[in-house]
Amino acid sequence: FIYKQHKINNQLKGFVIAPGPPLLKHFHVFNTELGILPNLLDISNKYGGRVKLDYFYGMPILLITDKDLIGHILGTKSGLLKDAMYELMEKWLGDGVLTCKPDKWKTSRKMLNPAFSVPLLQTYVYSFENSVRVLIEKLKSEVGNSGFNVLPYLSLCSLDIICETGMGIKLNAQQNKNSQYIEDIDEIGAIILRRLFSPIKRLPFTYRFTKDYQKELEVVARIRDFTRKVIDDRKRTKASRTSNNTDEKNKEYSLLDMLLEAESDGRILTNEELIDEVQTFLFGGHDTSATSVALSLYCLSKHPDIQDKVVSELESIFGSNDRYPTPNDLNEMRYLEMVIKETMRYYPPAPFISRMIDEDISFNDVFIPKGIPAMIFLYGVHMNPDYYPNPEKFDPSRFEKETKPYSFIPFGSGPRNCIGRRFATLEVKYTVAQILRNFNVLEVPGHLPQRTTSIVIRFKNGMMIRLELR
Ligand code: HEM
């Protein structure tokens, strides 16, 4: 075992091996709720873009912020195999496209890509209206409040949106907060988060003896049961749906409809496979988008001059008309798009992704022997002063020019990048635009969001803002 650790250190080329105490090694870096991101950023600043750490003696991990190496890893076959972090989601997401192994992934991704084609994305935009209309009404109740956490509102709205576009159902989560399904989605997220940083819960054998294990089985069974019923319902409606009104049909078209028609390996998907994919979209598309909207609002509350520029842009598009945005309107929101990009640079909703290097990699002066997990530290890339001068400054105008290749990667990169990135950009733009057309977003003096780390970032003290009617 000891020989193996020496062998890895000797074989690895082009990496700094970060010193750490014997045995515990870099446990202190990860064993902190609020400190992981700043700790990893300090390490990248101190040792550079390629560092070898050990969670614990014998558990190596490569911390990578070198954009060219990231481009190489994510762009080649070595970037297809996810590491053990994603296994925590397997009970819930099964063999869905986010978590599955490379062989299955190729067929799944090919089958799912058409669901995010431009014409379908445009039809999804029209279905945002209902959910965002309810959101605006709900937010009106907070006008004049001296500060409130906007994230729960956005999270429910985003869940409504993804359920309508993903499964074709109106969940009405915003009106119906106490539904079992919504509680279950929240609970499963919390269980995964608790497992992520608990050595006892990370190990499958010891995890079986914890309460979370039993809870996870119950919750996953209920979630999958719910989705199974939605799928059965949808199959029945589809069978009886009249096909002569194309507009109506397009309007109702959901990702699930597409999956019901899709073939994988020359056959229709089974119910279990459908559940895996639908749940994957729900997981991938719910918290990430809500967090991006919340962060954009927070950044705009801190920078009223930038908010004014976005509002002028919206006025030039809509004038005094209070219609809801069309896909064309969203295309015209160029400055807002730069603001959202800068927000995602500053606060990438998924601060790191990881891969298991399953074949030796030689790239320039770098050699990585197979069998080591690599953490692609997106936040570290975005905060690198070589790629973004004065990285601590919030400055949307950085995105007036093209960014350097692989230096802006909030949606990952390469063939396994985020399949929902265009959808997310539309949803985030749409929601932020509607909020700004209705409200002036103000800061809560002294509030600084405390980022805790999960697969998607979370905030220990919420995302506080104030609202005034515009
Ligand atoms: C702002 C919002 C979003 C962010 C920041 C985001 C971020 C990411 C990132 C970083 C990855 C790469 C994961 C990896 O390489 O391990 C990813 C993958 C993925 N995302 Fe997103 N995402 C967002 C929204 C969405 C939405 C709206 C959907 C679905 C409707 C979605 C579905 C997925 C799926 C299915 C994958 C896996 C793709 C594959 O492995 O082929 N995401 N996302």
Q: Does pLDDT of 133 surpass 60? A: yes
Alpha-carbon dihedral angle through residues 410, 412, 417, 422, given to the nearest 10 degrees: 10
Index of the ligand 1 atom closest to the CA of residue 423: 27
Selection from 181, 213, 182, 209 nearest residue 195 by Cα: 213
**Ligand 1 in reach of 414 Cβ (< 6 A):** no
Q: For residue 9, what pLDDT is reported? A: 92
Q: Does pLDDT of 244 surpass 60? A: no
ipTM, 2 dp: 0.99
Question: Residue 284 Cα, ligand 1 centroid: separation in angstroms?
Answer: 5
Q: Is 277 contained in some domain? A: yes
**Model pLDDT for residues 336-368, shown as the tens digit of each residue:** 999 999 999 999 999 999 999 999 999 999 999
pLDDT, average across residues 444-468: 89
pLDDT band at 126; cut points 50, 70, 90: very high
**Ligand 1 in reach of 409 Cβ (< 6 A):** no
Q: Which domain holds residue 197?
A: 97-346+413-469
**Model pLDDT for residues 31-68, shown as the tens digit of each residue:** 787 888 999 999 999 999 999 999 888 889 999 999 99
pLDDT band at 249; cut points 50, 70, 90: very low
pLDDT, average across residues 383-395: 97
Phi-psi region of 48 (alpha: psi -120 to 50; beta: other; left: phi over 0): left
**Ligand 1 in reach of 379 Cβ (< 6 A):** no
Q: What percent of the chain has pLDDT over 70?
A: 97
Index of the ligand 1 atom closest to the CA of residue 116: 30
Alpha helices in 268-367 (DSSP H): 271-302, 304-318, 327-332, 334-346
pLDDT, average across residues 211-229: 93
Q: Which amino acid is at 462?
A: G
**Ligand 1 in reach of 288 Cβ (< 6 A):** yes
Q: Is 377 contained in some domain? A: no
pLDDT band at 187; cut points 50, 70, 90: confident
Selection from 40, 59, 47 nearest residue 17 by Cα: 47
- Burial grade of 394 (CB within 10 A; 0-12, 13-18, 19 or more): middle
Index of the ligand 1 atom closest to the CA of residue 414: 15
**Number of domains into which the chain is organized:** 1
pLDDT, average across residues 385-402: 96
Q: Does pLDDT of 247 surpass 60? A: no
Q: Is 267 contained in some domain? A: yes
How does the average pLDDT of the chain come out, rounded?
91
**Ligand 1 in reach of 71 Cβ (< 6 A):** no
Q: Is 66 contained in some domain? A: no
How far, CA to CA in Å, does 154 sit from each of 92, 204, 226, 296, 297?
Answer: 23, 34, 23, 12, 11
Cα–Cα distance between 186 and 274 in angstroms, integer?
Answer: 21
**Model pLDDT for residues 365-379, shown as the tens digit of each residue:** 999 999 999 999 999
Q: Is 418 annotated as a binding residue?
A: yes
Query: 261-275: buried (b, 16+ CB within 10 Å) or exposed (e) per residue?
Result: ebebeeeebeeebbb
Q: Is 20 contained in some domain? A: no
pLDDT, greater one: 107 or 193? 107
Cα–Cα distance between 162 and 256 in angstroms, integer?
Answer: 11
Pocket test for ligand 1, best of 125, 159, 281, 288 (most atoms within 8 A of CB): 288
Q: Is 37 contained in some domain? A: no
Q: For residue 31, what pLDDT is reported? A: 78
Q: Is the pTM of this model over 0.90?
A: yes
Beta strands 267-268 and 263-264 are antiparallel
Helix, strand, coil percentages (3-state) for the chain, rounded to 5, are 55, 10, 35
Q: Write out the two tokens for 359.
A: 């074949």
Q: Does pLDDT of 452 surpass 70? A: yes
pLDDT band at 252; cut points 50, 70, 90: low
pLDDT band at 295; cut points 50, 70, 90: very high
Q: For residue 241, what pLDDT is reported? A: 65
**Ligand 1 in reach of 161 Cβ (< 6 A):** no
Q: Is 376 contained in some domain? A: no
Q: What is the CATH number of the domain that holds 291?
A: 1.10.630.10
Q: Is 375 contained in some domain? A: no
**Ligand 1 in reach of 420 Cβ (< 6 A):** yes
